[in-house]
Structure 1
Amino acid sequence: MKYNILTYLLIVILPVFTGACSDYLDKSPDDELTLEMVFRDKTRTEDWLAGVYSKIPNPYLEKVKHVDALADDYSPSKGWETYGWDCISKAQGNWSSSSSWGAGYWGDFPPKIRAAYIFINNVKANPQQLVTEQEVTYMKAECRFLIAYYYYIMVTNYGAIPLQTWLSDFDSSSEELMIGQTPFDEVIAWIDNELQEVAKILPPYYTDSRKYGRVTSVMCMAVRARMLLFAASPLVNGNPYYKGYENNKGVEIFNTTRDDQKWVKATTACKELIDFAHANGHQLYYEYNDDGSIDPFLSYQNMSFKRYDEGNKEILFGRPSTGEGGSNNNESYDYDKHAQPRGTGGNGGLGVSQELVDAFFMANGQSPITGYNGDGSPIINSASGYSESGFSEANDVRKTKWIESKGDIANVVNPVTLEGTYNMYCNREPRFYVSVLYNGSWFRRDNRETKFYMNDVDGGPTHDAPQNGYLVRKRVHPNHDPRNNIRPYRPGILYRLGEAYLNYAEALNESNPANRAEILLYLNKIRERGGIPIYGGGVGEIPVPANQDDMREAIRRERRVELNCEFSIRYDDLRRWMIGESTLNRTFYGMNYEGTEKSDDKSNSKAFFTRKPYLKRVFTKKNYWAPIHQNQIDKNPNLRQLPGF
């Protein structure tokens, strides 16, 4: 059957590998360009494949404003709601089945899945244009991965989705076109099988740098391990809340009986990923001081900036980009600009939460804050040495080449905080300084301290100022300069080895908590690279968590810090652990936005460095999943809305 390309314009969009797609769509009349013509031409074939790839999420600004800010890492300016930041309203509980969601998964992914099936059914070798049978085999496998990956994102965000594993014709019966939702575990099992099968076909890496971002067997195993961890977690493993929630055929969507074998399966998948990644050259990213010791500041910072071909073998799944000026670079440019102080040419309102600030460890490896009182005040761990009183009397100088706090690359040691810094921010671990820009931080490009006070250069009353006293520094390139349109490249990292270590530690603690040595091995690898004492019984080490519950809490604290502000991880964690209600359903605090004085005097309304309510958030049982939009249910009466919506 001969198809006119006009039928498929909805599913072919601009590619991420080449710039030719729009050209070829313009060259031929829509009523002449057929599928046969597309797939006998190498360029058009590659462009079609690029279109299938094009909805792999960009982990920078676009997904921050729709997904990541629904968790408790980011804290964007409330004034940005009018500019499409729908996460702000949703975080306050304003989410119904008629609300649009900018993440776009339900609308964006099915056309790409259909495009992938069309590609698989039509692609062919083309010896005259050097398209080999091997390349065709790889491209088909890539499409199978993308179908599985898009379904993975959908099922872990919506919970109940229709799984269509075939290509239906447009003239198919309504029964075939409008299918109901597939039980959650069946979707997971299908994706699991596909990822394992595709991993057997694709190579672990490509020697051709032009193929960076193309699917590898490592990527297949990484997505599989993360998915099985989600599927083993309390939200979907023995959660009684969803009992009785059925699809159109009367079959329950979720299995509400706990299955411990899911944790065993997740553990095995996580370890297989780590072993396979190690065998193929992947490792944590390190930079070193002159004496050979780990520089935790530069290691953690540049892990987000260095490309794979620059030695960053921590990347397991990197989003492809067209490089300077390409889609990924534009997204990271906007991310950087939103996170830089407005007095330096930035938009100045992409902050992080006070709760994230509180989560970072002290330099001695202890947690500073263990919880909150009913009035929102912190419960301080006295053993940590943490203080919220007063300002430092000297620079904090450490062995590092990190120069963002008035440092010099030629020095053996450099300051990480300056004299006069609020003590809340002093003596903290390296990852804190790489992740958080606070009032009084040194800003190297402008050669000055940040000034977030009301009516000061970086502060209010504009909404392009940190609403709760902080801007995000994690993944913000220090050389980014919006005034001069300088936009350094960095990879779009969707999965890295550091996460794989923590995923394995968590799964192993649930499936085999007696294997403490193995759990600590991978947990301590993260702490060592982070520059804080490891868990152990030696001098200067932190006491090992006493039992499974304590170890679980230690792993969760480490995840919060190590993986902060990385695409969807915290959002998924809060949901799969079922702690959204206790974590997000409350008042959030920050520094005093109205403050004009460098003071921590709680009785002084002008004091900036005092905790003040910032935002009342709402999270109830229904919010563990995104609702199916009502217009989709109107189109397909076989869909059943999730409980609560």
Structure 2
Amino acid sequence: MKAKHIIIILLVGTGLFTSSCKDYLSVEHFFDDRQSEERIFNSRDYTEQWLANCYSQLLDYNLEIGHKNYTVSNYADDMFYNEGGNGADYRRFKFGEYDQGWYNQSWTQSYAGIRQASIMINTISEGGTFTDHEVAQYKAEARFIRAYLYWLLLRKYGPVPLMPEKGVDYDQTYDNLSFPRNTYDEVADFISSEMVLAAKDLPLKRDNRNIARPTRGAALATRAKALLFAASPLANGNAEMAGFTDDQGRVLISQQYSEEKWAKAAAAAKDVIELNLYKLYTADRRIKGTESYPATIIPPHHPEYSNKNFPEGWANIDPFESYRSLFNGDLYASENTEMIFTRGENQTDQEHGVIALTRHQMPQTAGGWNSHGLTLKQCDAYDMNDGRPFNRAEILQKYGSNMFVQSNEVDQFKPLKANVWKEFALREPRFYASVAFSGALWTMSSATKNVGENTNKQIFYYRGEREGRVNGDRWLPTGIGMMKYVNPKDNADNDGKIYPKVEITIRYADILLMYAEALNELSGSYNIPSWDGAMTYIISRDVNEMSKAISPVRIRAGVPNYETTVYANQASLRNSIKHERQIELLAENQRYYDLRRWKDAPVEDAKQIYGYNTLITAKGNPALFYSPVRVPLLQTAFSQKMYFWPIHWDELRKNNRLTQAPGWPSFD
């Protein structure tokens, strides 16, 4: 039974459908109205506004990449933030000291979107206003949104209630309006089946005006991610979660390990690959350059890769620029061959999305807030430019008392400038696109005021420097900054500007690494049908298939593929893939959830956080700055309850069948 009237939030105009590609999902203006379902879905304007409101639930607390107030899960053992009481807020997060107001909006926001989408799926065809093709398109988009919101809930809260397909009849009794959690596998399977239905009617590509709407690839990629999580150790035969039950005592996390889940996840990733729509983005090799866009730094000679073009080698590409420009706004969404799904240039203010994240990374010299940085663990994770692991002791022994780059050594250690510590020399290109080490060059070239003073500056983090240790929040307790998402032109001061950024929600490199990870976990062979049943994949631990997936990601980054001995050993390759994801997907809201699904968080997310000695000034003995020290301000812990987020007490009061996640206080 449908309610006669429903409260809706209608978006002024039809901005999602008629705005420029720069606006994408702009949903800033709202008004309240009461409309009957029949009237809404007999009007094209109201229908589009209704769908736009469904899309709006993918923003704010459901953004993938944004400011810590909205995407705090972007911080694990790799990144930190210092604002919020000089580290006090970070401590609460890292110790699981969540109160009832702690980031719970994603739950209510997601279920609001699920309800909106369900009403549209079940009602739009009744009005007769739209053609069958249009109805199919609207339903596919609404179905995608609904399933994607369930995916976000599953990843954060674990097993959640699947609401009735046709919505809720609010005339029913309180008890009949209460719903228990479904099992983890039931939620993952629902997401999988719904994304298959959506994929059948979603287009393969979108034009610029509709770039933030889902495609077939976006649906299949989300399906692959949900199935990968269901196959991972947290949800696949996890005896530690035997106490996670619904109100009837049903265990919600599978207690029996199933290798076939890995095969299904691999097949789902292969479905995306077989679309033949996506490829890793690469920038052409640059012979000449500027400070903002330097000439290509060619990786060390390698007999297999140096003389071949991408994807077999790096002879024709710039590995540094290929990676950097994915994130810093130099690419329009339509130019990014790697992007599978985006919410678009959707949050260009200082409070929400990628722009906010960028400004918190930027130094105060550029009008930034200098409060987001990297742990020493993440800094050290980047390999050398020949693919060998970073080794601090080896570097200290190699350079001895000559650890700072001298003026006459600058050409030898590009892109380092004079007076930079040589631990940062000869690292892989992704290091220089991501890590704001002490002495890194910030070009900030959009400044038009006092250009000589406010552009092309080395930023040091010694105490006494403007960006060094101070009283307050605007300094980096590890002495290591971050510049992924920062454009070389970005300058929020000096009459400059921060350039718009596109939130990359899902990208092809992630799918390739997921595919290899899932294949690596197999010991048998499985016949798995493709998403549409058109073919059957033979899925097994195929070394060639895994290498084909991983090698382009490595080669695009300017580092060699793994040796055959790594591929031959399941444990070695597992560790290598984890390391690759840590580097390649930094600050893309992956690491936090990866550590949990792998069940690595109790070790990795609880290790002491180290950085450099920020008490040291540039005068005297600056080498002491680079002595690794424990950072008391940024300490962390992990307990079992932190695998999943708690449900707010208000939700537990409303739904008497809803059980709390293990370890968190219940309303009862």
After TM superposition, the score normalised by the length of structure 1 is: 0.85
**Partner residue in 2 for 1:74:** 79
Alignment of 1:173-188 (within 5 A): 173-188=173-188
Deviations 1:335-367 (A, max 9, x none): 221111112211111111111101111111011
**Partner residue in 1 for 2:372:** 350
Structure 2 contact 57–112 (Cα < 8 Å) conserved: no
Tell me, in whole angstroms, the C-alpha distance in 2 between the residues paired with 1:283 and 1:387: 43
Tell me, in whole angstroms, the C-alpha distance in 2 between the residues paired with 1:213 and 1:80: 32
Structure 2 contact 348–354 (Cα < 8 Å) conserved: no
Aligned in 2, Cα 1:256/1:81: closer, same or farther, shift over 3 Å? farther
Structure 1 contact 263–507 (Cα < 8 Å) conserved: yes
Percent identical residues:
30
**Partner residue in 1 for 2:522:** 511
Structure 2 contact 343–504 (Cα < 8 Å) conserved: yes
Alignment of 1:554-569 (within 5 A): 554-566=576-588, 568-569=589-590
**Partner residue in 2 for 1:93:** 96
The answer as to 2:627 corresponding to 1:610 is: yes
Amino acid at match of 1:42: R
Q: 1:625 aligns with which of 624, 636, 644?
A: 644
**Partner residue in 1 for 2:479:** 469
Q: 1:286 aligns with which of 258, 282, 289?
A: 282
CA shift for structure 1 position 41: 2.6
**Partner residue in 1 for 2:532:** none
Structure 2 contact 75–587 (Cα < 8 Å) conserved: no
CA RMSD of aligned residues (A): 3.1
Three-state SS of the structure 2 residue aligned to 1:137 is helix
Three-state SS of the structure 2 residue aligned to 1:581 is helix
Aligned in 2, Cα 1:332/1:599: closer, same or farther, shift over 3 Å? farther
Aligned in 2, Cα 1:546/1:36: closer, same or farther, shift over 3 Å? closer
Deviations 1:208-239 (A, max 9, x none): 32111111110011001111111111111111
Aligned in 2, Cα 1:66/1:260: closer, same or farther, shift over 3 Å? same
Alignment of 1:242-257 (within 5 A): 242-257=241-256
Amino acid at match of 1:177: L
Q: 1:501 aligns with which of 512, 522, 526?
A: 512
Structure 1 contact 391–420 (Cα < 8 Å) conserved: yes
Tell me, in whole angstroms, the C-alpha distance in 2 between the residues paired with 1:356 and 1:81: 24
Structure 2's unaligned 5+ residue stretches are 20-25, 288-314, 445-454, 524-539
Amino acid at match of 1:633: L
Q: 2:600 aligns with which of 579, 586, 591?
A: 579
Three-state SS of the structure 2 residue aligned to 1:319 is strand
CA shift for structure 1 position 61: 2.5
After TM superposition, the score normalised by the length of structure 2 is: 0.82
The answer as to 2:170 corresponding to 1:160 is: no
Structure 2 contact 9–31 (Cα < 8 Å) conserved: no
Aligned in 2, Cα 1:449/1:41: closer, same or farther, shift over 3 Å? same
**Partner residue in 1 for 2:466:** 457
Three-state SS of the structure 2 residue aligned to 1:200 is helix
**Partner residue in 2 for 1:403:** none
**Partner residue in 2 for 1:391:** 404
**Partner residue in 2 for 1:402:** none
Deviations 1:460-518 (A, max 9, x none): 31321112112221112222221136232221101101111111111111125752222
Q: 1:340 aligns with which of 362, 367, 371?
A: 362
**Partner residue in 1 for 2:657:** 638
CA shift for structure 1 position 308: 5.4
Aligned in 2, Cα 1:290/1:23: closer, same or farther, shift over 3 Å? closer
Q: 1:300 aligns with which of 323, 328, 335?
A: 323
Deviations 1:77-124 (A, max 9, x none): 1x42589x95541203323xx433326221211111111112223335
Deviations 1:409-452 (A, max 9, x none): xxxxx931123211221111000010011111111122211022
CA shift for structure 1 position 547: 1.0
Tell me, in whole angstroms, the C-alpha distance in 2 between the residues paired with 1:598 and 1:514: 56
Tell me, in whole angstroms, the C-alpha distance in 1 between the residues paired with 2:27 and 2:555: 46
Amino acid at match of 2:626: F
**Partner residue in 2 for 1:199:** 199
Deviations 1:127-161 (A, max 9, x none): 98xx5432221111111111111111111211121
The answer as to 2:436 corresponding to 1:437 is: yes
Tell me, in whole angstroms, the C-alpha distance in 1 between the residues paired with 2:8 and 2:326: 38
CA shift for structure 1 position 63: 5.2
Three-state SS of the structure 2 residue aligned to 1:480 is coil
Deviations 1:606-633 (A, max 9, x none): x322222212201112211111222221
Three-state SS of the structure 1 residue aligned to 2:415 is strand
Structure 1 contact 148–194 (Cα < 8 Å) conserved: yes
The answer as to 2:148 corresponding to 1:149 is: yes
Instruction: Give the number of equivalent residue pairs.
Output: 594
